[in-house]
Amino acid sequence: MLSGTPSREFCAELGPQPLVVGVDEAGRGPLAGPVVAAAVLLCKPGPPGVDDSKKLTARAREEAEQKIRATCAYGIGVVDVAEIDALNIFGATMLAMSLAMEQLCEALGLDDCHTLIDGNFTPQGRCDRWRWPAEAIVGGDGREPAIGAASILAKTWRDRMMVEAAREHPHYGWERNKGYGSKEHMEALRIHGPTPLHRRSFAPVAQLEMAL
């Protein structure tokens, strides 16, 4: 399920529009697996334990994720490896954010949102599917609770996808490195070669494939 809308009470208390939504992504740097984005409209008051996902332990992220999904509205956008290789990782990230917003707006049944996005860039003017006013905030996942909540959902969602993928491709240690280029992952790439989930547009994978 790529979106979630909580109770009628939540929707009844949304307040004046446009609604402020936080958007963030996970998985721009790995050599394997999708890029995932989340869009979150926080409940009031916001759920406890929300912060930049990178500052939280895995257990704290999972606990925060459960609270966010139980009390807030959210959308998830997933862009697979084929699209990453076709678009490049920047374009794929912009698409993932757009898909996340589409899922959220569909769940809410409305479209009048102002988005806060972690980083230097927004999908506005960079992805044809993006249609919302957007503000980029450097370090936003630690400054804006809605972006922090989105960072938690995006990371936990992607982490679970990589743990599941590791069951089918057990040599690469994805349950530990989540597709990043760790020493274990690179050694397995040299021995076993790339899988269909590896990003062939990324130099370490492309160079190794040429050498095989």
Q: What's the full length of the chain, in residues?
A: 212
Min mean pLDDT across 13-17, 57-61, 66-70, 206-210 is at: 13-17
Would you say 196 and 172 are in contact if contact means Cβ atoms under 8 Å apart? no
Nearest to residue 21, comparing CAs of 137, 126, 121?
A: 137
Would you say 36 and 157 are in contact if contact means Cβ atoms under 8 Å apart? yes
pLDDT value for 127: 97
Q: What is the mean predicted confidence (pLDDT) over 103-117? A: 94
Q: What is the mean predicted confidence (pLDDT) over 175-189? A: 97
CA triple 43-48-52, angle to 5 deg? 95
pTM: 0.94
Summarize pLDDT for 26-78 with one digit per residue, the tens: 999 999 999 999 999 998 878 877 877 788 889 999 999 999 999 999 999 99
Task: With cut-offs at 50, 70 and 90, classify the pLDDT of residue 211.
Answer: low
**What is the residue type of 136?**
A
Query: How large a percentage of the chain has pLDDT more than 70?
Result: 95
Burial bucket for residue 136 (CB in 10 Å: 0-12, 13-18, 19+): middle
Residue 184: Cβ within 10 Å count: 14
Which positions ≥6 away from 86 have C-beta within 8 Å?
none
**β-sheet with 35-41: strand ranges across:** 3-4, 73-79, 35-41, 19-26, 113-118, 134-137
